[in-house]
Amino acid sequence: MSETILKFERVSKTYGRKMALHETSFELPAGKIIGLIGTNGSGKSTTLKLMAGLLRPSGGSVAVNGRTVKGRIPELVSFLPDGDYLYPFYTVKQTIRLFGGVYRDFDQIKALEMMSFLELNGDQPVKGLSKGNMARFKMLLALSRQVPLILMDEPLSGLDPLVRGSIIKSLISFIDMDNQTVVLSTHEVAEIEPLLDMAMLIHDGRLRSIREVEEIRSSDRMNLVEWMEAAVSR
Ligand SMILES: Nc1ncnc2c1ncn2[C@@H]1O[C@H](COP(=O)(O)OP(=O)(O)OP(=O)(O)O)[C@@H](O)[C@H]1O
């Protein structure tokens, strides 16, 4: 595994006349859990899609694991999007098998282990899953891929505190930190803080800061919410 998993060099993104990401450069080290935080419309989803090669930069270049991204890179990146993207009539187990067929790196044993851990019913059709179980299942599918970079867009969005807690616990249990880096966007900053090694703050299409969370606590003597508020108001 290369030491830098992700590199943005002067990356920008415009939608028509809207500048969603201003010229941005940064590097992310491998083997960390990184939170992408920012207010609504700040550019988090755009940044994640650029990382996954799902969007082309309007300027600059993106590299994953030392390779310049020219389009989709499913062999390097597992992306959990925020919309629904599964076949509704497939059961949980059928979907796991389908993923096993589509992605060579998909670890069906890990997926079935997670299914039991998360108490998901394998015979349940996807369309009948509750919102919380759907979120758990999508996380299971994202984490069962043996790829160096896992991206999650709002994995906690719209869920009650109990489900959020269970998702955070499973993230801790099932991320393979020796081989994987996880970048996840969220508004649930306080809840996710204990999970994160690093935080990236985006505001108004600009990267304001990337910091080690531990350093924010020890040097700045702030929690992540306080740091975010301070950085946005600067
Ligand atoms: N396809 C698009 N066409 C035009 N504008 C877009 C498009 N996608 C995003 N935008 C705009 O770009 C900006 C950044 O959007 P983005 O979805 O990346 O933000 P976000 O931080 O993920 O927001 P949220 O937290 O609300 O999901 C917003 O102003 C949004 O309205």
Nearest to 153 by CA among 48, 21, 38: 48
Q: What is the mean pLDDT of the chain?
A: 92
For ligand 1, atom 30, the nearest C-alpha belongs to 41
In Å, how far are 55, 126, 133 from 130, measured between CA atoms? Answer: 30, 9, 5
For residue 146, what is the DSSP state? Answer: -
Ligand 1 binding pocket mutation candidate from 11, 13, 42 (most atoms within 8 A of CB):
42
Q: Give the dihedral of Cα atoms 127, 131, 136, 142; nearest 10 deg.
A: 70
In tens, the pLDDT along 26-64 reads 999 999 999 999 988 999 999 999 999 999 999 999 999
Is any atom of ligand 1 closer than 6 Å to the C-beta of 18?
yes
Is any atom of ligand 1 closer than 6 Å to the C-beta of 44?
yes
Is any atom of ligand 1 closer than 6 Å to the C-beta of 41?
yes
Atom of ligand 1 at shortest range from CA of 154: 27
Is any atom of ligand 1 closer than 6 Å to the C-beta of 158?
no
What integer pLDDT is reported at residue 85 of this predicted model? Answer: 78
What integer pLDDT is reported at residue 116 of this predicted model? Answer: 94
Evaluate if residue 22 carries a pLDDT over 70.
Answer: yes
* ipTM score assigned to the predicted complex: 0.96
- Going across the sheet that includes 4-15, the strands are 18-29, 4-15, 59-64, 67-68
Q: What are the domain boundaries of the chain?
A: 4-233
What integer pLDDT is reported at residue 226 of this predicted model? Answer: 93
Nearest to 140 by CA among 100, 96, 103: 96
What integer pLDDT is reported at residue 7 of this predicted model? Answer: 97
Q: Which helix (H) or strand (E) holds 134?
A: helix 131-143
Whether the Cβ atoms of residue 202 and residue 37 lie closer than 8 Å to each other: yes
What integer pLDDT is reported at residue 83 of this predicted model? Answer: 58
In tens, the pLDDT along 101-155 reads 999 999 999 999 999 999 999 999 999 999 899 989 999 999 999 999 999 999 8
What integer pLDDT is reported at residue 211 of this predicted model? Answer: 94
In tens, the pLDDT along 60-87 reads 999 999 999 998 888 899 998 665 778 9
Q: How confident is the model at residue 99 (pLDDT cuts 50, 70, 90)?
A: very high
What integer pLDDT is reported at residue 82 of this predicted model? Answer: 61
**147-176 mean pLDDT:** 89
Q: Which residues pair with 13 in a beta bridge?
A: 21
CATH topology of domain 4-233: Rossmann fold (3.40.50)
Evaluate if residue 2 carries a pLDDT over 60.
Answer: no
Buried b (16+ CB within 10 A) or exposed e, 95-132: bbeebbeebeebbeebbbebbeebebeeeeebeebeeb
